[in-house]
Amino acid sequence: MQIRKERREREIVIVEEEGSVRTLPTIATKCPKCEHNLAFWWLRQLRAADESEVRFFRCCECGHTWREYD
């Protein structure tokens, strides 16, 4: 019986600046701070499970974050 040992090299990616990675979806909406017309958006369940999610927006231009309740 032979035992084979293989060493696999793994590549680790380190993100130094959070702002450099743009993976969130975007939507055409007006920023209340700078009035730019494009923002990233995401959903979070902040309240009880039987209540609707909260929609967050972050302006692509100035980085201002705001929320919208349904």
Q: For 5-33, what is each residue's pLDDT tens digit?
A: 777 777 877 766 665 556 889 999 999 99
**Per-residue tokens: 20:** 């450099």
Contact 14, 27 (CB under 8 A): no
User: Is 49 a residue whose pLDDT tops 60?
Assistant: yes
CB 19 within 8 A of CB 63: yes
Which single residue is written with the structure tokens 């909260």?
54
Longest dimension (CA), the chain: 70
**Domain covering 24-69, topology:** N-terminal domain of TfIIb (2.20.25)
What percent of the chain stands above pLDDT 90?
A: 49
Report, in angstroms and rounded to the nearest whole number, the Rg of the chain calculated over CA atoms.
20
Quote the pTM value: 0.64
